[in-house]
Homo-oligomer: A and B are copies of this chain.
Amino acid sequence: MHKQVDITKEFILNLREVIENKDEKQALSLIGGMHPADIAEIFEIFSMEEAIFLFLLLESELAADVMAELEEDDRELVLRALPSDVIAKQILDKMDSDDAADVLGDMDELRQEEVLSHMEDVEQAGDIVDLLNYEEDTAGGLMAKEYIKVKDNWTVDECIREIRRQVEEVEEVYFVYVIDDDEKLLGILSLKTLIISPSKRKAVNLCEKEILSVRTDMPSEDVANFMHKYDLVAIPVVDSIERLVGRITIDDVVDVIKDEAEKDYQMISGITEDVESDDRMWVQSRARLPWLIIGLFGGIMGALIIRSYQHELDAFRDLIWFLPLIAAMAGNVGVQSSSIVVQGLASNTLNIKSTGRRLLKEFGVSLTNGLILSSLMVLFNLAMNYGSFLTFTVSLSLLAVVIIASVFGTLVPLILNRYKIDPALATGPFITTTNDIMGLLIYLFIAKQLFGVFTII
């Protein structure tokens, strides 16, 4: 059905020229047979005007598929350029209901109603309106209405007739869902079973009855973990009284898994919104600036702290050599600890153990690492002949900082999680900067105490 095209520089240049010449026939012959995902990729390389020129050439079915593959921001721009009746008849009518609901969900309510009023497939319009009622990041927001359901008392023959009847609507079928008269989900019947079973057997006697399903209000992330854990390709979604209302397929869940991983990655790298290197300059600037400003204020706090210890630093000015080192180590250790907890919480491996035991272990790990690092620091100071006050202060501070930052880094995401706040926040700017400052405070505090001791001696 699709030809596999390598999207090379030459291909892009060629296509760009064709677009410039407004050569519709040639343009269509270049992209018409491509996979929708490839066309969407091309759109992201071109300018919006070029992309819309191409989009309007596509026949309806392909246009709908491309629309489903576009990134959200590109999709919004294309949608804004298209008239409502084109969106309704040539795109939404041909899309899977979950993708169509996503597309419609991006519009304001006025536009939604206008577009819906133009739809010809009334059943599809009803499905979309149903789907729009669910929160975006729940099973209800992920599910689609394209599935095949059969009544429990139907025979294999009747089930196959139903599949034949719906074959246009439902592109990919691996299972049919068996329901009773109240629409309650009774079981799953795989096509494989249908194929190999005698034609007069009843669905209810053939189907798998102990099945896994999710409720509409389950958070997307949990749905993803659930399907991944049990290696499911598709899962039925039921409402609060066990009626079948939709199904989720693994490809949608892969998107959730990727998004979640990216969100955590962005948090730890100090980026506040979803940016890609293709995004425009000011989008990138805006995404990075907040973290940097928090970091700047943290640094300023640090500067004020150092200033307040001016007396000790004047009296023993070698202390300043290690100021950045102590601050950086506090930050590094804190991020390590937090990120291990964040990953553990994301993969649900942390549920059983108690907070107390985990902190105890973290204390052990950080004590070990702290002692090794402090010993290295002592060796360096001895080798450089730095004197006992500096050696003692830096090494002891390092040990203290490693332990305190570890425990703090473990505790914060656990606390955030308990209060239903995204624990990944703990790997972000605020806590890291706090750790930096804490490191400086500990170092200067210890220096001050030891300074008193050493000067008395």
Residues of A that sit less than 8 Å from B by CB: 1-4, 7, 9, 12, 35, 37, 41, 44-45, 160, 163-164, 167, 172-174, 190-192, 194-196, 208, 210, 212, 228-233, 249-251, 253-254, 257-258, 261-262, 264-266, 268-271, 275-278, 281-282, 284-285, 288-289, 291-293, 295-296, 298-300, 302-304, 306-307, 310, 313-314, 317-318, 320-329, 331-333, 335-336, 338-341, 343-344, 347, 349-353, 358, 361, 364-365, 368-369, 372-373, 376-377, 380, 402, 427, 429, 433, 436, 440
Q: Is the CB of B228 within 8 A of A254?
A: yes
Docked-complex contact A292 and B329, CB < 8 angstroms: yes
Task: Identify whether the interface residues of A are mostly helix, strand, loop, or mixed.
Answer: helix
Number of copies: 2
Q: How far is the CA of A425 from the CA of B244 in the complex (A)?
A: 47
Which of A3, A12, A253, A299 has the most CB atoms of chain B within a 10 A radius of its CB? A299
Within the assembled complex, what's the spacing in Å between the Cα atoms of A370 and B217?
44
The answer to whether A233 and B174 have CB atoms under 8 Å apart is yes
Residues of the B chain whose Cβ atoms lie less than 8 Å from the Cβ of A303 = 321-322, 324-325
Whether the pair A270, B44 counts as a contact (CB closer than 8 A) is no
Q: Are A268 and B270 in contact (CB-based, < 8 A)?
A: no
Complexed CA–CA distance, A335 and B429 (Å): 12
Minimal Cβ-Cβ distance residue in B for A213 = B4
Known interface pairs A228-B254, A324-B327; A163-B376 also in contact (CB < 8 Å): no
A-B contact pairs, 13 of them (CB 8 A): A44-B349, A250-B250, A278-B349, A288-B333, A291-B332, A292-B329, A298-B325, A299-B328, A300-B325, A303-B325, A306-B323, A306-B324, A327-B327
Known: A173-B192, A277-B341, A285-B368. A230 touches B37 (CB 8 A): yes
Q: Are A196 and B271 in contact (CB under 8 A)?
A: no
Contacts of A302 in B (CB 8 A): 324-325
**Known contacts A196-B163, A261-B258, A329-B295; A277 and B339 CB within 8 A of each other:** no
Please, which residues of chain B bring their CB within 8 A of the CB of A250? Answer: 233, 250-251, 254
CA of A271 to CA of B258, assembled, Å = 21
Task: Give Cα A87–Cα B431 distance, bound, in whole angstroms.
Answer: 48
Q: How far is the CB of A61 from chain B (nearest CB, A)?
A: 16
Contact A313:B320 (CB < 8 A) given known A228-B254, A427-B269? yes
A4 to B226, CA, bound (A): 12
Our pick among B277, B293, B320, B332 for the contact of A344 (Cβ within 8 Å) is B277
Q: Are A365 and B281 in contact (CB under 8 A)?
A: yes
Inter-chain contacts of A160 with B (CB < 8 A): 195-196
CB distance from A39 to the nearest CB of B (A): 12
Compute how far the CA of A302 lies from the CA of B326 in the bound complex, rounded to whole angstroms. 11
Which residues of the other chain, B, contact A277 by a CB distance below 8 angstroms? 340-341, 343-344, 349-350, 353, 358
Bound together, the chains give a CA A297 to CA B3 distance in angstroms of 54
Q: For A352, list chain B residues within 8 Å (CB).
A: 7, 9, 12, 45
B436 touching A328 by the CB < 8 A rule?
A: yes
Residue of B nearest to A232 (CB): B251
User: Given A268-B269, A288-B369, A335-B269, is A167 in contact with B191 using a C-beta cutoff of 8 Å?
Assistant: no
Q: How far is the CB of A252 from chain B (nearest CB, A)?
A: 9
Do B265 and A261 have beta carbons less than 8 Å apart?
yes
Which chain B residues border A270 with CB–CB below 8 Å?
A: 332, 335-336
Q: How far is the CA of A101 from the CA of B134 in the complex (A)?
A: 43
Contact B296 A322 (CB under 8 A): no
A285 with B369, Cβ < 8 A, contacts A210-B2, A295-B328, A322-B299 known: yes
CB nearest neighbor in B for A301: B325
